[in-house]
Structure 1
């Protein structure tokens, strides 16, 4: 498979562009979108430079997803959530970005500040530095979506269900997994197992918050991870083990025997 290198943006230029864009609307920033920048660069080795046409197609696809949800007019929470799910799949399925490239904040800074500044401003109007500079990829407007899709992508599922798990947890819940990305988040199979079990849990919302339940479950997974190699388990055994932990979390938080 051909490995393409995406353009990246020097940090100093990224900061300058962000400052220039502050206070501007998505519509105003439409004319600032470009396929290149004088301060862009590529990784020295590992592949060939991405053809400009692929960048143009990626922008068109993501811009279309935004327009379907009212761009450039402001979005509501539901529109933002469905946009995130759609773009997560687009980025992971169609962009050609590989994990070795996806850890580079400079790559994501290029996408948010050069290729799609209007879409970035539409999604996060304050253009918070974490959302556009790539200093924390797990909070970046686009970077977090690629990683979200990467963690849930199930290559063994049927074609239409490869990213089905994107619909199970929202952004705030995924943040809890991102926060543990060096442990839980480092194992896509474990994440998919957690999502499978989570989808089957009937949460008594009058007794416990979903966020608290997920946090407790993740802490139990972390403790057991010191003794159990989750990646070596079959999917059925993994689900059984995680289901047991989920039951323990429910009993602990609800006081049920």
Structure 2
């Protein structure tokens, strides 16, 4: 921040003349790696600067996607650092402020968010480019991806942390763009990513083989394209057959092992949009059923909350509170936590915990 306030960042030519700033104290990681030589940093600066001049520097930037795509490859090739090293903010603050600040200011302007110049994970001018090349690999043409499309992949930690998944998404998207199958490419990517993220709690993408992963990504994009066109999404015959097998298995008459408590099966729709109870107060049988369910949950999972109970029984938040408080008064449950962190445990378990703590 001292450098940013002392260097002439409002004048590109003066700033370029002041680069590089080699008077700063530099430290290195205490374990492993080869220390980068100053001569390598001079070479890196010259190559990035040459690329920037080819795209308009010091005047207006032309073709930002091409510049950033090529710069990403260049940075990744010249900075052959480990992902651990590349995850440190200080690395990118030093490279940006001491070696490439004029290029960063030209790219985003002197009045840009200071996170463009310090090593912020998603905003630093060069850190985000290095990681795009690292995550998407050498086979994806980064110059063909727009900023919004890259952000949809790179700023989703669930996706970007799985290199195979991120690359499969990029390949499928670019394939559709190349063959003209995307009327609105930005909307297609956004819709596909929403559908993909909804699947991540239920599918272990890292456990899929290449064929399975590609098949699911294709179906996600097919559904996204159909939705944007106003058509209902369809499921492939292979997945319909799998669903039938799973349904047959779940509806079999196999009894659970001794000690396993069966709880009613619910769906995401049941949780999100449970049927509402009548407006009048709970009937005695409804109250008893809700109380039994609450005890079943706590015996199964060790605790029960207002939300847990409402997921299993079609009652309101106030009614769930009445049920749980009644069980506390009866000495069957004990309350723990405060406010939104409130939960209930079996009374005998609470007594054991209190004795252990004392």
TM-score strictly above 0.5: yes
The Cα offsets for residues 134-153 of structure 1, whole Å up to 9 and x where unpaired, read as 1x222111011001111111
The Cα offsets for residues 12-31 of structure 1, whole Å up to 9 and x where unpaired, read as xxx11122346522211112
> Larger relative contact order (C-alpha < 8 A, sep ≥ 6)?
1
The Cα offsets for residues 180-208 of structure 1, whole Å up to 9 and x where unpaired, read as 12x10101110110011112334553xxx
The Cα offsets for residues 133-181 of structure 1, whole Å up to 9 and x where unpaired, read as 11x222111011001111111xxxxxxxx24331342112111222212
**1:216-227 equivalences in 2 (<5 Å):** 216-227=191-202
Aligned to 1:133: 118
| Residues 173, 214 of structure 1: 8 Å contact kept | yes
Aligned to 1:157: none
Aligned to 1:92: 76
**1:55-134 equivalences in 2 (<5 Å):** 55-76=41-62, 78=63, 80-126=64-110, 127-134=112-119
- Tell which deviates more after alignment, 162-171 or 93-102: 162-171
Runs of 4+ more than 6 Å apart: none
| Residues 25, 121 of structure 1: 8 Å contact kept | no
Aligned to 2:30: 44
After TM superposition, give the deviation of residue 239 of structure 1 in Å.
Answer: 1.5
Alignment TM-score, normalising by the size of structure 1: 0.81
- Tell which deviates more after alignment, 16-25 or 170-179: 16-25
Question: CA separation in 2, counterparts of 1:163 and 1:20?
Answer: 41
After TM superposition, give the deviation of residue 35 of structure 1 in Å.
Answer: 5.8
After TM superposition, give the deviation of residue 41 of structure 1 in Å.
Answer: 2.5
Alignment TM-score, normalising by the size of structure 2: 0.59
| Residues 149, 163 of structure 1: 8 Å contact kept | no
Give the direction of change, closer, same or farther, for the CA distance of 1:204–1:89 in structure 2 (3 Å limit).
closer
Structure 2, unmatched stretches of 5+, are 233-358
| Residues 48, 74 of structure 2: 8 Å contact kept | yes
The Cα offsets for residues 1-22 of structure 1, whole Å up to 9 and x where unpaired, read as xxxxxxxxxxxxxx11122346
**1:7-18 equivalences in 2 (<5 Å):** 15-18=1-4
Q: 1:175 aligns with which of 145, 151, 164?
A: 151
Give the direction of change, closer, same or farther, for the CA distance of 1:53–1:184 in structure 2 (3 Å limit).
same
Question: CA separation in 2, counterparts of 1:97 and 1:31?
Answer: 28
After TM superposition, give the deviation of residue 103 of structure 1 in Å.
Answer: 1.0
- Tell which deviates more after alignment, 63-72 or 29-38: 29-38
**1:198-217 equivalences in 2 (<5 Å):** 198-201=173-176, 202-205=180-183, 209-217=184-192
After TM superposition, give the deviation of residue 88 of structure 1 in Å.
Answer: 0.3
Question: CA separation in 1, counterparts of 2:118 and 2:145?
Answer: 25
Aligned to 1:5: none
Query: Which protein has the larger Cα radius of gyration, Structure 1 or Structure 2?
Result: 2
Aligned to 2:225: 250
Q: CA RMSD of the aligned region, Å?
A: 2.0
After TM superposition, give the deviation of residue 100 of structure 1 in Å.
Answer: 0.5
